[in-house]
Amino acid sequence: MKKISQVLLLFLAVMAFGQKEAVNFETTTFKEILAKAKSENKLIFLDAYTSWCGPCKMMAKKVFTQKEVGDYYNTHFINARFDMEKGEGKDIAKKYEVYSYPTYLFLNGDGEVIHRSVGYFAPKEFIDLGETAVNPEKQYKVMKERFEKGDRNPDFLFKLAEVSAMAEPGFFPQVTEAYFKAKKTKTYSKDEAMLLVGSISKVGDQYYQKFVEDKTELSKTLTPEGYQKVDNGIKMREVMAKAFDRKTLAVNDKIYLSEAEKFLGKEKAEQSLSALKMEIAFYQKDYKKYVELALKVYKNPENFESGQLNEIAWNFFEKVDDKAGLEKALEWAKVSVKKSEEYANTDTLANLYHKLGDDKNAKIWAEKSIELGKKEDEDTSSTEKLLKSLK
CB 57 within 8 A of CB 4: no
Report d(CA 37, CA 45) in Å as an integer.
Answer: 10
Torsion of CA 8, 12, 13, 19, to 10 degrees: 160
Q: Cβ neighbours of residue 331 under 8 Å, at least 6 residues apart?
A: 301
250's torsion region: left (phi>0), alpha (psi -120 to 50) or beta?
beta
Cβ neighbours of residue 115 closer than 8 Å, sequence gap 6 or more: 106, 132, 133, 138, 139, 140, 141, 167
CA distance 165 to 214: 23
| Amino acid identity at 283 | Y
- State the angle between helix axes of 30-40 and 88-95 in degrees (0 to 180), rounded to the nearest 10: 60
What pairs with residue 250 in β-bridges? 245
What does 34-83 look like in DSSP terms, one character per residue? HHHHHHHT-EEEEEEE-TT-HHHHHIIIIITT-HHHHHHHHHHEEEEEEE
List the catalytic residue out of 22, 44, 53, 60.
53
Distance CA 370, CA 147 (A): 48
Task: Report the candidate in 189, 163, 185 with the shortest Cα–Cα distance to residue 176.
Answer: 163
Q: How far is CA 60 from CA 56, 57, 107, in A?
A: 6, 5, 20
User: Which is the catalytic residue, given 33, 46, 56, 344?
Assistant: 56
Beta strand ranges found along the chain (DSSP E): 43-49, 77-83, 103-107, 113-118, 244-245, 250-251
**Residue 56 bears catalytic tag:** yes
- Per DSSP bridges, beta strands 113-118 and 244-245 are unpaired
Annotated catalytic residue 53:
yes
Q: Which residues are catalytic?
A: 53, 56
